[in-house]
Structure 1
Amino acid sequence: MIEAKNSITEIWLAGGCFWGVQAFLSRLPGVIHTEVGYANGNTQNPTYEDVCRRSTGHAETVYVKFDKTKIAMEKLLDYFFRIIDPTLLNRQGNDIGIQYRTGIYYKNPEDRENIESYINGKQASYKGKILTEVLPLDNFYKAEDYHQEYLDKNPNGYCHIDLAILNEIGKE
Protein backbone atom coordinates (compact mmCIF):
# COMPACT_ATOMS: atom_id res chain seq x y z
CA MET A 1 0.00 0.00 0.00
CA ILE A 2 1.34 3.42 -0.93
CA GLU A 3 1.10 6.05 1.79
CA ALA A 4 -0.61 9.33 1.02
CA LYS A 5 2.12 11.94 0.58
CA ASN A 6 0.58 14.31 3.13
CA SER A 7 0.54 11.57 5.78
CA ILE A 8 4.34 11.39 5.84
CA THR A 9 6.03 13.56 8.44
CA GLU A 10 9.32 13.80 10.31
CA ILE A 11 10.79 14.46 13.72
CA TRP A 12 14.29 14.36 15.25
CA LEU A 13 14.68 12.59 18.60
CA ALA A 14 17.73 12.70 20.88
CA GLY A 15 17.80 10.08 23.62
CA GLY A 16 21.40 9.37 24.54
CA CYS A 17 23.56 7.09 22.41
CA PHE A 18 21.90 7.06 19.02
CA TRP A 19 22.65 3.39 18.28
CA GLY A 20 19.95 2.04 20.56
CA VAL A 21 17.50 4.84 19.89
CA GLN A 22 17.69 4.10 16.16
CA ALA A 23 17.43 0.32 16.69
CA PHE A 24 14.29 0.87 18.76
CA LEU A 25 12.55 3.54 16.67
CA SER A 26 13.27 1.88 13.32
CA ARG A 27 11.28 -1.18 14.42
CA LEU A 28 8.09 0.69 15.32
CA PRO A 29 5.07 0.18 13.07
CA GLY A 30 4.58 3.24 10.86
CA VAL A 31 8.23 4.33 10.95
CA ILE A 32 9.44 4.48 7.35
CA HIS A 33 13.07 5.58 7.72
CA THR A 34 15.60 6.46 10.41
CA GLU A 35 19.05 7.96 10.23
CA VAL A 36 21.50 8.86 12.99
CA GLY A 37 23.31 12.15 13.12
CA TYR A 38 24.22 15.23 15.08
CA ALA A 39 21.68 17.99 15.71
CA ASN A 40 21.46 21.56 16.91
CA GLY A 41 25.13 22.18 17.46
CA ASN A 42 27.34 25.16 16.72
CA THR A 43 29.69 23.66 14.12
CA GLN A 44 29.19 22.46 10.56
CA ASN A 45 29.72 18.84 9.48
CA PRO A 46 31.03 17.52 12.79
CA THR A 47 32.57 14.09 13.10
CA TYR A 48 31.85 11.68 15.93
CA GLU A 49 35.19 12.61 17.48
CA ASP A 50 34.31 16.32 17.26
CA VAL A 51 30.98 15.73 19.01
CA CYS A 52 32.56 13.59 21.75
CA ARG A 53 35.75 15.54 22.38
CA ARG A 54 35.13 19.12 21.33
CA SER A 55 32.52 21.66 22.35
CA THR A 56 30.30 21.36 19.28
CA GLY A 57 27.02 21.49 21.20
CA HIS A 58 25.48 18.75 19.04
CA ALA A 59 23.17 16.05 20.38
CA GLU A 60 23.32 12.48 19.10
CA THR A 61 19.97 12.40 17.33
CA VAL A 62 17.81 10.09 15.24
CA TYR A 63 15.93 11.46 12.25
CA VAL A 64 12.55 9.70 12.06
CA LYS A 65 10.34 9.72 8.97
CA PHE A 66 6.94 8.20 9.69
CA ASP A 67 3.41 7.77 8.41
CA LYS A 68 1.12 9.59 10.83
CA THR A 69 -1.86 7.49 9.68
CA LYS A 70 -0.04 4.43 11.07
CA ILE A 71 1.60 5.98 14.14
CA ALA A 72 0.50 9.31 15.57
CA MET A 73 3.10 11.75 16.85
CA GLU A 74 1.77 11.27 20.40
CA LYS A 75 2.17 7.49 20.16
CA LEU A 76 5.70 7.87 18.77
CA LEU A 77 6.54 10.14 21.70
CA ASP A 78 4.99 7.60 24.12
CA TYR A 79 7.37 4.96 22.78
CA PHE A 80 10.30 7.38 22.89
CA PHE A 81 9.59 8.19 26.54
CA ARG A 82 9.68 4.47 27.36
CA ILE A 83 13.37 4.33 26.42
CA ILE A 84 14.64 7.57 27.95
CA ASP A 85 14.75 9.15 31.37
CA PRO A 86 13.64 12.68 30.48
CA THR A 87 14.55 13.96 33.95
CA LEU A 88 18.29 13.47 33.47
CA LEU A 89 20.46 16.31 32.18
CA ASN A 90 23.13 15.43 29.63
CA ARG A 91 23.12 11.70 30.27
CA GLN A 92 21.32 8.45 29.46
CA GLY A 93 22.43 5.06 30.68
CA ASN A 94 26.20 5.06 31.19
CA ASP A 95 26.73 7.87 28.67
CA ILE A 96 27.46 11.31 30.08
CA GLY A 97 27.95 14.57 28.16
CA ILE A 98 25.97 17.26 26.40
CA GLN A 99 25.79 15.10 23.27
CA TYR A 100 23.67 12.60 25.26
CA ARG A 101 20.96 15.08 26.26
CA THR A 102 17.36 14.31 25.42
CA GLY A 103 15.60 16.43 22.86
CA ILE A 104 12.71 16.63 20.46
CA TYR A 105 13.44 18.74 17.40
CA TYR A 106 10.92 19.73 14.76
CA LYS A 107 10.74 21.65 11.49
CA ASN A 108 6.99 22.16 11.33
CA PRO A 109 6.04 24.98 13.76
CA GLU A 110 2.63 23.35 14.25
CA ASP A 111 4.36 20.39 15.90
CA ARG A 112 5.71 22.54 18.74
CA GLU A 113 2.34 23.03 20.44
CA ASN A 114 1.54 19.31 20.20
CA ILE A 115 4.95 18.30 21.58
CA GLU A 116 4.79 20.79 24.45
CA SER A 117 1.24 19.69 25.28
CA TYR A 118 2.40 16.08 25.31
CA ILE A 119 5.29 16.87 27.67
CA ASN A 120 3.08 18.96 29.97
CA GLY A 121 0.68 16.00 30.20
CA LYS A 122 3.56 13.60 30.87
CA GLN A 123 5.08 15.69 33.68
CA ALA A 124 2.69 14.27 36.32
CA SER A 125 4.20 10.81 35.68
CA TYR A 126 7.65 11.92 36.88
CA LYS A 127 8.93 13.02 40.28
CA GLY A 128 11.63 15.19 38.71
CA LYS A 129 11.17 17.93 36.13
CA ILE A 130 11.23 16.80 32.50
CA LEU A 131 14.42 18.29 31.04
CA THR A 132 13.96 17.08 27.45
CA GLU A 133 14.49 20.11 25.25
CA VAL A 134 11.88 20.97 22.64
CA LEU A 135 13.35 23.14 19.91
CA PRO A 136 13.12 23.84 16.22
CA LEU A 137 15.73 21.88 14.28
CA ASP A 138 18.56 24.31 13.52
CA ASN A 139 20.81 21.75 11.84
CA PHE A 140 21.29 18.03 11.39
CA TYR A 141 24.38 16.34 10.00
CA LYS A 142 24.27 12.67 9.09
CA ALA A 143 26.67 10.59 11.18
CA GLU A 144 29.36 8.46 9.62
CA ASP A 145 28.20 5.33 7.79
CA TYR A 146 29.53 2.97 10.44
CA HIS A 147 27.04 4.49 12.94
CA GLN A 148 24.01 3.88 10.69
CA GLU A 149 22.07 0.80 11.87
CA TYR A 150 25.04 0.07 14.13
CA LEU A 151 23.29 -2.52 16.29
CA ASP A 152 22.02 -4.39 13.23
CA LYS A 153 25.62 -4.67 12.02
CA ASN A 154 26.99 -5.29 15.54
CA PRO A 155 24.30 -7.19 17.48
CA ASN A 156 26.47 -7.41 20.61
CA GLY A 157 27.29 -3.70 20.54
CA TYR A 158 26.68 -1.42 23.51
CA CYS A 159 23.12 -0.29 24.03
CA HIS A 160 21.63 1.49 27.05
CA ILE A 161 18.12 0.63 25.85
CA ASP A 162 16.35 -2.62 26.61
CA LEU A 163 15.18 -3.57 23.12
CA ALA A 164 12.98 -6.27 24.68
CA ILE A 165 10.46 -3.45 25.15
CA LEU A 166 9.70 -4.00 21.46
CA ASN A 167 8.14 -7.37 22.37
CA GLU A 168 5.65 -5.58 24.64
CA ILE A 169 4.77 -3.14 21.88
CA GLY A 170 4.01 -6.00 19.50
CA LYS A 171 1.36 -7.21 21.95
CA GLU A 172 -0.45 -3.87 22.24
Structure 2
Amino acid sequence: MDKKVEIMTVGGGCFWCIEAVFNELKGVEKIVSGYSGGNAPGKPTYREVCSGLTGHAEVVQVTFDANTISYKDLLIVFMTSHDPTSINRQGADIGTQYRSVIYYHDIGQQEVAELVIKEVASYYDQPIVTEIGPLEAFFEAEDYHQNYYANNQTQGYCSFVITPKLSKLRKMHADKLK
Protein backbone atom coordinates (compact mmCIF):
# COMPACT_ATOMS: atom_id res chain seq x y z
CA MET A 1 0.00 0.00 0.00
CA ASP A 2 1.29 3.45 -0.86
CA LYS A 3 2.05 5.89 1.90
CA LYS A 4 -0.43 8.64 2.59
CA VAL A 5 1.77 11.33 4.12
CA GLU A 6 0.05 13.96 6.25
CA ILE A 7 1.19 16.61 8.75
CA MET A 8 -0.27 17.64 12.09
CA THR A 9 0.78 20.48 14.41
CA VAL A 10 0.01 20.37 18.14
CA GLY A 11 1.25 21.82 21.40
CA GLY A 12 0.75 20.45 24.89
CA GLY A 13 3.32 22.01 27.16
CA CYS A 14 7.01 21.55 26.58
CA PHE A 15 7.68 20.36 23.05
CA TRP A 16 10.30 17.91 24.33
CA CYS A 17 7.52 15.87 26.00
CA ILE A 18 5.20 15.79 23.02
CA GLU A 19 8.04 14.95 20.64
CA ALA A 20 9.13 12.01 22.82
CA VAL A 21 5.57 10.64 22.88
CA PHE A 22 5.09 10.80 19.11
CA ASN A 23 8.53 9.26 18.49
CA GLU A 24 7.17 6.03 20.00
CA LEU A 25 4.28 5.63 17.53
CA LYS A 26 4.03 3.48 14.42
CA GLY A 27 3.50 5.55 11.29
CA VAL A 28 5.23 8.66 12.60
CA GLU A 29 7.98 9.50 10.17
CA LYS A 30 9.32 12.86 11.30
CA ILE A 31 8.85 15.25 14.20
CA VAL A 32 10.04 18.85 14.28
CA SER A 33 9.84 20.93 17.44
CA GLY A 34 8.96 24.55 16.86
CA TYR A 35 6.79 27.55 17.59
CA SER A 36 3.39 28.61 16.29
CA GLY A 37 0.37 30.73 17.08
CA GLY A 38 2.10 33.98 17.91
CA ASN A 39 2.04 37.43 16.45
CA ALA A 40 5.61 38.68 16.86
CA PRO A 41 7.35 39.55 13.60
CA GLY A 42 10.18 37.37 12.28
CA LYS A 43 11.39 33.97 13.39
CA PRO A 44 11.21 33.68 17.18
CA THR A 45 13.98 32.29 19.36
CA TYR A 46 13.48 29.96 22.31
CA ARG A 47 14.36 32.77 24.69
CA GLU A 48 11.76 35.07 23.10
CA VAL A 49 9.06 32.40 23.20
CA CYS A 50 9.86 31.62 26.86
CA SER A 51 9.37 35.30 27.69
CA GLY A 52 5.69 34.84 26.81
CA LEU A 53 5.73 38.04 24.76
CA THR A 54 5.63 36.48 21.27
CA GLY A 55 2.29 34.73 21.71
CA HIS A 56 3.79 31.54 20.27
CA ALA A 57 3.23 28.12 21.78
CA GLU A 58 5.82 25.36 21.85
CA VAL A 59 4.53 22.87 19.28
CA VAL A 60 5.57 19.84 17.30
CA GLN A 61 4.93 19.27 13.65
CA VAL A 62 4.43 15.57 12.99
CA THR A 63 4.76 13.97 9.57
CA PHE A 64 2.97 10.63 9.52
CA ASP A 65 1.69 7.88 7.24
CA ALA A 66 -2.10 8.05 7.55
CA ASN A 67 -2.32 4.50 6.18
CA THR A 68 -0.47 3.32 9.32
CA ILE A 69 -1.89 5.67 11.96
CA SER A 70 -4.78 8.06 11.55
CA TYR A 71 -4.89 11.73 12.43
CA LYS A 72 -7.68 10.88 14.86
CA ASP A 73 -5.57 8.24 16.63
CA LEU A 74 -2.65 10.67 16.88
CA LEU A 75 -4.95 13.26 18.44
CA ILE A 76 -6.30 10.75 20.95
CA VAL A 77 -2.73 9.90 21.98
CA PHE A 78 -1.96 13.62 22.19
CA MET A 79 -5.04 14.43 24.27
CA THR A 80 -4.28 11.63 26.72
CA SER A 81 -0.55 12.32 27.06
CA HIS A 82 -0.83 15.83 28.52
CA ASP A 83 -3.35 17.74 30.65
CA PRO A 84 -5.75 19.45 28.22
CA THR A 85 -7.74 20.92 31.15
CA SER A 86 -4.95 23.17 32.37
CA ILE A 87 -4.83 26.73 30.99
CA ASN A 88 -1.36 27.92 29.99
CA ARG A 89 0.56 25.31 31.95
CA GLN A 90 1.71 21.73 32.08
CA GLY A 91 3.03 20.70 35.47
CA ALA A 92 5.68 23.17 36.57
CA ASP A 93 5.85 24.77 33.10
CA ILE A 94 3.71 27.91 33.27
CA GLY A 95 2.98 30.47 30.54
CA THR A 96 1.04 30.89 27.32
CA GLN A 97 3.83 29.11 25.44
CA TYR A 98 2.77 25.89 27.23
CA ARG A 99 -0.91 26.01 26.27
CA SER A 100 -2.74 23.03 24.85
CA VAL A 101 -3.44 23.67 21.18
CA ILE A 102 -4.26 21.91 17.92
CA TYR A 103 -3.41 23.81 14.73
CA TYR A 104 -5.28 22.25 11.85
CA HIS A 105 -3.98 22.18 8.28
CA ASP A 106 -7.38 21.85 6.59
CA ILE A 107 -11.08 21.71 7.38
CA GLY A 108 -11.00 17.92 7.69
CA GLN A 109 -8.42 18.16 10.47
CA GLN A 110 -10.51 20.82 12.19
CA GLU A 111 -13.56 18.55 12.18
CA VAL A 112 -11.60 15.58 13.53
CA ALA A 113 -10.03 17.75 16.26
CA GLU A 114 -13.44 18.97 17.42
CA LEU A 115 -14.75 15.37 17.42
CA VAL A 116 -11.78 14.03 19.41
CA ILE A 117 -12.13 16.72 22.05
CA LYS A 118 -15.79 15.75 22.52
CA GLU A 119 -14.89 12.05 22.65
CA VAL A 120 -12.17 12.38 25.30
CA ALA A 121 -13.99 14.97 27.45
CA SER A 122 -15.46 12.30 29.73
CA TYR A 123 -11.93 11.09 30.52
CA TYR A 124 -11.31 14.29 32.50
CA ASP A 125 -12.92 15.77 35.62
CA GLN A 126 -12.43 19.36 34.38
CA PRO A 127 -13.44 20.92 31.03
CA ILE A 128 -10.95 20.65 28.17
CA VAL A 129 -9.37 24.01 27.32
CA THR A 130 -7.39 22.92 24.26
CA GLU A 131 -7.48 25.63 21.60
CA ILE A 132 -8.25 24.68 18.01
CA GLY A 133 -7.20 27.04 15.24
CA PRO A 134 -5.78 27.15 11.72
CA LEU A 135 -2.04 26.79 11.28
CA GLU A 136 -0.85 30.16 10.06
CA ALA A 137 2.92 29.77 10.45
CA PHE A 138 5.36 27.26 11.88
CA PHE A 139 8.89 28.15 12.93
CA GLU A 140 11.39 25.37 13.52
CA ALA A 141 13.04 25.52 16.93
CA GLU A 142 16.79 25.62 17.38
CA ASP A 143 18.73 22.42 16.60
CA TYR A 144 19.36 21.52 20.24
CA HIS A 145 15.59 21.15 20.80
CA GLN A 146 15.22 18.52 18.07
CA ASN A 147 15.05 14.91 19.30
CA TYR A 148 15.73 16.29 22.77
CA TYR A 149 14.62 13.33 24.88
CA ALA A 150 16.54 10.78 22.81
CA ASN A 151 19.69 12.88 23.19
CA ASN A 152 19.25 13.81 26.88
CA GLN A 153 17.48 10.95 28.67
CA THR A 154 19.58 11.27 31.82
CA GLN A 155 18.92 15.00 32.19
CA GLY A 156 16.68 15.73 35.21
CA TYR A 157 13.67 17.10 33.31
CA CYS A 158 13.70 14.09 31.01
CA SER A 159 13.94 11.59 33.87
CA PHE A 160 11.29 13.16 36.08
CA VAL A 161 8.80 14.52 33.52
CA ILE A 162 9.16 12.78 30.16
CA THR A 163 9.97 9.21 31.22
CA PRO A 164 6.73 8.91 33.27
CA LYS A 165 4.74 10.25 30.28
CA LEU A 166 6.25 7.52 28.13
CA SER A 167 5.34 4.87 30.72
CA LYS A 168 1.73 6.09 30.64
CA LEU A 169 1.77 6.04 26.82
CA ARG A 170 3.05 2.46 26.77
CA LYS A 171 0.20 1.35 29.04
CA MET A 172 -2.62 3.28 27.35
CA HIS A 173 -1.63 2.95 23.71
CA ALA A 174 0.51 -0.21 23.47
CA ASP A 175 -1.18 -1.19 20.19
CA LYS A 176 0.13 1.95 18.47
CA LEU A 177 3.80 1.65 19.47
CA LYS A 178 6.68 0.97 17.10
Q: Shared fold (TM-score greater than 0.5)?
A: yes
Q: Which of 157, 167, 171 lines up with 2:170 in the alignment?
A: 167
Q: CA deviation at 1:54?
A: 4.7
Q: Contact 1:12–1:63 at 8 Å: present in 2 too? A: yes
1:26 matched to 2:20: no
SS in 1 for 2:9: strand
The structural deviation recorded for 1:74 is 1.6
What are structure 1's unaligned runs of at least 5 residues?
Answer: none
What pairs up with 1:58-137 in 2 under 5 angstroms? 58-137=56-135
- In the alignment, is the contact (CA less than 8 A) between 1:10 and 1:106 conserved in 2? no
How many corresponding residue pairs?
169
Say whether the 8 Å CA contact 2:81–2:169 is kept in structure 1.
Answer: no
Is the Cα–Cα contact under 8 Å of residues 87 and 131 in structure 1 kept in the other structure?
A: yes
What does the per-residue CA deviation read over 1:93-113, in whole Å, with 9 as the maximum and x for residues that have no partner? 210000000111111122111
Q: 2:33 aligns with which of 32, 36, 54?
A: 36
CA deviation after TM superposition for structure 1 residue 29, in Å: 0.6
Percent of residue pairs bearing the same amino acid type: 41
CA root-mean-square deviation: 1.6
Q: Which amino acid aligns with 1:67?
A: D
What is the letter of the counterpart of residue 32 of structure 1? E
Secondary structure of 1:163's aligned partner? helix
The alpha-carbon deviation at position 152 of structure 1 amounts to 1.1
> Which blocks of at least 5 consecutive residues in structure 2 are unaligned?
none
Instruction: With the length of structure 1 as denominator, give the TM-score of the two structures.
Output: 0.91
Shift of 1:127: 2.1
Map Cα deviations across residues 61-110 of structure 1 (whole Å, 9 max, x no partner).
Answer: 00011111111112111111221111100001210000000111111122
Cα contact 1:14–1:59 (8 A) shared by 2:
yes
Is the 2:37–2:136 Cα contact (8 Å) retained in structure 1? yes
Separation in structure 1 between the aligned mates of residue 65 and residue 92 of structure 2, nearest angstrom = 32
- Provide the rounded CA distance (Å) in 2 between the counterparts of 1:15 and 1:156: 22
How far off its partner does 1:30 sit? Answer: 0.8
Say which SS state the counterpart of residue 80 (structure 2) adopts: helix
